[in-house]
Chain A
Amino acid sequence: MRRAALPPDALDATDRAILNALQDGFPLVQHPFAEAARPLGLTEDELIARLRGLREIGAITRFGPFFDAEAMGGAFCLCAMAVPEDRFDAVVTLVNAHAEVAHNYERRHRLNLWFVLATERAEAIETVAQAIEAETGLAVLRFPKLREFFIGFRVQA
């Protein structure tokens, strides 16, 4: 995925209007592009062509349904460890070797290693966390989600 900003002239006003409007939703009807195009003053074909272009330049991360991973089955748990500096790389190797480790970030804090465990069954979270503790001799703090709040995140394009 593109992690650098696009040049300022990469997007015109229509591109920006599309990116802003479709963040809020996309219709679930037979011809959704035609319906979404209307308030933007575009035709169905124009909207599809614009979206192709935006995807090609890396301006779109995802376009489609956003699933609640837990509702589909599976369990997730944010975990953190305080890893001594001189053992950092070795511990990362041990942690990342587990397929259940989905994301892993180094962060500036005494708790300097933060990762997400993703498993098919809830019980497996404990098994993997305990295995990492046994392999590293370090505590794995578990921060399971107690409540997730509705997200109003929108990027102004």
Chain B
Amino acid sequence: MIIDATDRRIINATQGGLPLAPAPYAEVARWLGLTEAEVIDRLDAMQRQGVIRRIALAPNHYALGVTANGMSVWDVADDRAEAQGERVGALNFVSHCYLRPRALPDWPYNLFAMIHGTSRPEVEAKRQEIAALLGPDCRAADILYSTRILKKTGLRLKERN
């Protein structure tokens, strides 16, 4: 989908979140000098085309006690990787799930799934659930726990046409 300058302004205006006001899309329209219908139509078009994955609330999972996470990695047979990736991504404790190239011989894993839980043992138990789901399609696996955040900057989108 080609997004135009107006879409981009809407994205920039709502990246930080929607206003908590009875008519939030009218409020965004007011900021940008657009009509409410225009904002709703454009958001709807972007949602239908996948530019917007969903409009929703993301709870702070740390605040809710989901403080442990690990990057689980799996070596899944190439002809099974797409189908198995769909199943792993659909699990309610996996927040990211990607197929990536291997870097042989150092790195045999092609399926990456970020697992979240309330404790390290819970993350390990969930990892076993994925192992059971993959069964013989998985030839090797590992999990990498982060020990330090060294940098974290949000996505910054430049204004452009």
Q: Which A positions have Cβ atoms within 8 angstroms of B?
A: 1-6, 18-19, 22-26, 28-34, 44, 48, 51-52, 55, 57-69, 71-74, 78, 80, 82, 92, 96, 101-111, 113-115, 118, 120, 141-155, 157
Contacts and interface: CB of A to CB of B under 8 A. Distances in A.
Given A32-B24, A60-B57, 19 more contacts: A3-B67, A28-B44, A30-B25, A30-B26, A32-B25, A44-B22, A62-B58, A63-B17, A63-B58, A64-B16, A72-B51, A102-B155, A104-B149, A104-B151, A107-B146, A114-B71, A142-B101, A149-B99, A153-B95
A31 B24 CA distance: 8
Contacts of B91: 152
B31 interface: no
Contacts of B145: 107-108
Contacts, number: 246
B142 to A, nearest CB: 7
Given A5-B64, A72-B51, A147 B96 contact: no
Nearest to B84: A149
Interface of B: 1, 3, 8, 11, 14-18, 20-26, 36, 40, 43-44, 46-47, 49-67, 71, 82, 85-86, 88-101, 103, 106-107, 112, 116, 142, 144-155, 157-158
Contact of B85 (A22, A149, A152): A149
A155 B97 contact: no
Contact of A65 (B14, B36, B98): B14
Given A65-B43, A66-B52, A144-B101, A59 B23 contact: no
B25 to A, nearest CB: 7
Nearest to B71: A107
B14 to A, nearest CB: 5
Contacts of A68: 50-53
A106 B3 contact: no
A25 B55 CA distance: 5
Contacts of A61: 58-61
Contact of B51 (A67, A102, A145): A67
B89 A71 contact: no
B149 to A, nearest CB: 6
A151 B149 contact: no
A149 B51 contact: no
Contacts of A62: 17, 57-58
Contact of B55 (A26, A145, A148, A150): A26
